[in-house]
Amino acid sequence: MELKSTAVRKYDEKFMHRCIALSQEAVNSGDAAFGSLIAIDDRLIAEGLNDYKTKISEHAEIVALNKAHKILGTSDLSACTLYTSCEPCPMCSFMLREFKIKRVVFALPSLYVGGYSKWPILQDTEISELKPIFSNPPEVLAGFMEAEAKIVMEKTQLWMFGSDAKSRNPNKKNKPLDISKPFSPKTEVKVLKKGEHSFKINERVMLLHKISIFRWLAENLNTGEKGVLREGEASVISKK
């Protein structure tokens, strides 16, 4: 269920500029480029910077939510909007639903680990049935001022955020496997005639099969593992 909104309110730009400034403050402190705030209409309630170094769960959204809870004296934030420089992750998205945030505005989409783009937690209507724990899905304004937020994010090594993240994924590029000699992934294998036998050719076929398995695991399971072949094996597959 899509609940994306194109409605921009007059104070959205002001608050998103502040979130981007907070994300820069986080980078300056040696943390990741995330900044969030909570507002009621045009009134700022609380701000949050990513504080991963202190506590791994201290995402900017969580920090802002907890501050707003303390300031307002209630966990019912149904009058509030959360602004954040990057799409909330699944953990933060569940907390947004529990705090009953009515509106979410984010800049950079998170196609790999987002609670809206990757997993539809913010849009989920089934958990709305679990009242009074979860709220109805909030209105979502996605990708608002993405270009401005990206300027700060690109100062870090976190390439996985932004609407073009998948096209920039360095793990999807055809990198050579970790062997002592280069080889072509498209190396042709000689087809033997009936009755013809060759230990070297059969060995080469087995090694190519081994390589194809390693390549599939590395590219499709995102394990980061590489197939490692001995020098002798590499020389066998490099021969025609």
CB 82 within 8 A of CB 47: no
Q: What is the pLDDT of residue 94?
A: 96
Check residues 142 and 194 and name the one with the higher pLDDT.
142
- Give Cβ neighbours of residue 45 (< 8 Å, ≥ 6 apart): 37, 38, 39, 67, 68, 71, 72, 80
Q: What is the pLDDT of residue 217?
A: 54
Q: What is the mean pLDDT of residues 154-163?
A: 92
pLDDT above 80 (res 188):
no
Q: What is the pLDDT of residue 221?
A: 55
The residue with tokens 């094996």 is 233
pTM: 0.69
Q: What is the pLDDT of residue 228?
A: 43
Strand partners, 43: 40
Q: What is the pLDDT of residue 214?
A: 57
* ∠ CA 229-203-209, rounded to 5°: 60
Helix (H) or strand (E) holding 44: strand 43-49
Check residues 121 and 174 and name the one with the higher pLDDT.
121
Q: What is the pLDDT of residue 202?
A: 52
Q: What is the pLDDT of residue 187?
A: 40
CB 22 within 8 A of CB 70: no
The verdict on whether 231 is a catalytic residue reads no
Give the side-chain half-sphere CA count within 13 A for 77.
Answer: 30
Q: What is the pLDDT of residue 1?
A: 37
CA–CA distances in Å: residue 184 to residues 26, 174, 175: 44, 11, 11
Q: What is the pLDDT of residue 87?
A: 98
pLDDT above 50 (res 153):
yes
121 vs 115: CA distance, rounded Å: 5
pLDDT above 50 (res 136):
yes
Q: What is the pLDDT of residue 9?
A: 87
Q: What is the DSSP letter of 165?
A: G
Rounded to the nearest 10°, the torsion over CA 123, 137, 66, 153 is 40
User: Pick the catalytic residue: 61, 87, 146, 233?
Assistant: 61
Averaged confidence pLDDT in the chain = 80
For 24-39, the pLDDT digits (tens) are 999 999 999 999 999 9
pLDDT band at 180 (very low <50, low <70, confident <90, very high): very low
Does the CA dihedral 144-150-152-157 come out positive or negative? positive
Q: Side chain identity at 15, as an amino acid letter?
A: F
SS3 call for 138 = coil
